[in-house]
Structure 1
Amino acid sequence: MNIILLGPPGAGKGTQAQRLIDSQGMVQLSTGDMLRAAVKAGTEIGLKAKAVMDAGDLVSDEIVIGVVSERLEQPDVQASSGVIFDGFPRTSAQAEALDGLLAEKGMTLDAVIEMQVPDELLVGRIEKRAAETGGTRADDNAATLKKRLATYHKDTAPLVEYYRGTGKLRTVNGDQPMDDVTAAILDALAVSA
C-alpha cells in the first residue's frame, strides 16, 4: 500500500508515519532525508541537488522526482509492504509527476490521508514541541510556523482538491489523541493495527 500523508506543519505526520512503519511494515519516504542521503552518497542526482542547495536555491521538481525514483528502487522499499510519502508532493505539478513516476514503475498510489488540524492549534503544538526538544528544530517557533502555514495553504492545500478528484482522499481529524488519530488513519486505509 502506497500512501501520502498530507497536512500542515505540526499536524503530526511524522508521528503517524512512524506508527504506520511500526504496525504495517511500510517505509517512510521523506524528501528532505532522501535529498540529504543522495548528496552524501554522491549520486548523479545528489550532485545536482547539492549544487542547487549550496547556491541557496530550492531544488527543482525534476531533481526531487529523480531522488524519489532512485529511492523507490532501494531494497528496503522493494521488500516493504508499501511507502508513506511525507513532505511530497507539495504542489499539483509534483502530484502529477508522482503519478507518472509510479505508473512507470508499475506502482499505484492507494490513498492520501489528509490530517486536518486548525491553524490556531498548530501554533500551540509547535511551541510545546520546541519546549520538549529544547528547540532542536530551527523551524519550531511561531513566526516560522506562520510563514510555513501560509506557504502550505497557498501551495500544498490545493492537493486536497486534486486528490479528492481522484477518489483517493481520506480525511481524518488530527486534533485528537495520537492513538485516536492512528485508529482513524488505519480505518481510512481499512487495515488493522
Structure 2
Amino acid sequence: MAAVIRLLRHSSSSLSFLSRSLSTAGVKETVKSQTYPQNPLPTAVIDPKSRNVQWVFLGCPGVGKGTYASRLSTLLSVPHIATGDLVREELSSGSSLGKQLAEIVNQGKLVSDEIIISMLSKRLEAGEGKGESGFILDGFPRTVRQAEILDEVTDIDLVVNLKLPESVLIEKCLGRRICSQCGKNFNVASIDVKGENGRPGISMAPLLSPPQCVSKLITRADDTEAVVKERLRIYNDKSQPVEDFYRGQGKLLEFDLPGGIPESWPKLLEVLNLDDLEEKQSVAA
C-alpha cells in the first residue's frame, strides 16, 4: 500500500486532489447487506437537491455496472467515473502506457493498482477543475488494497453489488458490440434462462443498434470466451473479497438483476428509494 500512496504523493497536490474530490456529503444512514429482490432494502432517503452521493458499483465483468451507474449518474447529476473507460481511453491514445495496457487487457488480467490509482487521480483532478461533486465509481475498487486506499481519503456511502449467473455473464460478454463511429455499446445476445430450484428465470432481449451503426459494429478484443472466463476467474479470486470488505462495514447492497434494463431499472430505483425522483423529473421534463 505504501508504494501506491507514494505514487499518489508524487506531487504535493496529487493526494489533495483525490481527497478533496472524494469528500462531498452523501447518504448518512448505514446500509446492511441484503439481497434483492428476496429482501428489498429501503436505503436512506436522498435529498434530490444535494445528490452528492458517494457510491461504488461492484459486479462481475459484463454484469452491466456501466449501464446502471451511468443512468444513476444522469438521474442524480453526479459524475460516473468508470475505470474501464479510463483504460480504454488510454488504449486508444497510442501512448506507451496504452500499449502496456493492451497486453494486460487482451490477456484478461487486472490492471495493477498503481496504474488504476494514477489514472483515477488524473480524472478526479480534471473533474475538480470543472466543479464536479459526488460520484458513482464503476470498476473501482477491484481489490481490498484499493478499497483500503479509498477508505483513507473518503467515506463511501453505499456499495451496490450487481449479480447475474456466470452462464448469463458469458453470453452477455460474447454478445457485446461497439459502434466504431459513434462509440455506443450494443448487444446481440438474446438470453432466456428458465428458472430452477426456486430461482426466477432471466430474460434479456438484444440491445440492437440503429441501421446506421450496423455495418460499423466491432467486437472488443477481450470479448472472447477464453478471455471472458479468465476475467471471471480472476474476479472471483481477487475482487470478491472486496464484497466481504464492504459487507463487514455494513455498506453492501446485493442486487440480483431480474432481467434486462426494462425489468431491472425500475426495481433498482425502488430499492434505492429513487423511483419518486425519476417520476418527478419525468413530469418536470
Separation in 1, partners of 2:129, 2:73: 12
**Does residue 86 of structure 2 align to residue 34 of structure 1?**
yes
Aligned to 2:172: 125
For residue 113 of structure 1, give the secondary structure of its aligned residue in structure 2: strand
Which residue matches 1:157? 240
Given that 2:83 and 2:138 are in contact with CA atoms closer than 8 Å, whether structure 1 keeps it comes out as yes
- TM-score under structure 1 normalisation? 0.77
Structure with greater helix share of residues: 1
Map 1:102-113 onto structure 2 (within 5 A). 102=154, 108-113=155-160
Instruction: State the one-letter code of the partner of 1:115.
Output: L
Code of the residue aligned with 1:73 in structure 2: it is E
1:31 shift after superposition:
2.1
Q: CA offsets, 1:146-168, max 9 Å, x none? A: 11110111111111111111111
Q: Is the 8 A contact 1:26 1:82 kept in 2?
A: yes
Aligned to 1:168: 251
Partner of 1:189: 272
**Alignment identity in percent?**
36
Task: Please provide the CA RMSD for this pair.
Answer: 3.1
Partner of 1:2: 54
Q: 1:80 to 1:51 in 2, by over 3 A?
A: closer
SS in 2 for 1:19: helix
Residue number among 73, 91, 101 corresponding to 2:153 in the alignment = 101
Give the Cα–Cα distance (whole angstroms) in 2 for the partners of residues 149 and 39 of structure 1: 21
Task: Classify the secondary structure of the residue corresponding to 1:137.
Answer: coil
Compute the displacement of 1:115 (Å): 0.3
Give the TM-score normalised by structure 2.
0.55
Q: Which runs of structure 1 show a deviation greater than 6 angstroms over 4 or more consecutive aligned residues?
A: 38-41
Amino acid at match of 1:53: Q
Structure 1 pair 26–185 and aligned structure 2 pair: CA distance change class (3 A): farther
Rate the CA distance shift 1:85–1:91 in 2: closer, same or farther, 3 A: same
> Tell me, which stretches of 5 or more residues in structure 2 are unaligned?
1-52, 105-109, 178-186, 189-208, 210-216, 279-285
Partners of 1:154 and 1:171 in 2: how far apart?
18
Q: Letter of the 2:158 partner, please give it.
A: A
- Partners of 1:29 and 1:36 lie apart in 2 by 13
Q: Which has the larger radius of gyration?
A: 2
- 2:176 alignment partner, SS class: helix
Gaps of 5+ in 1: 42-46, 103-107
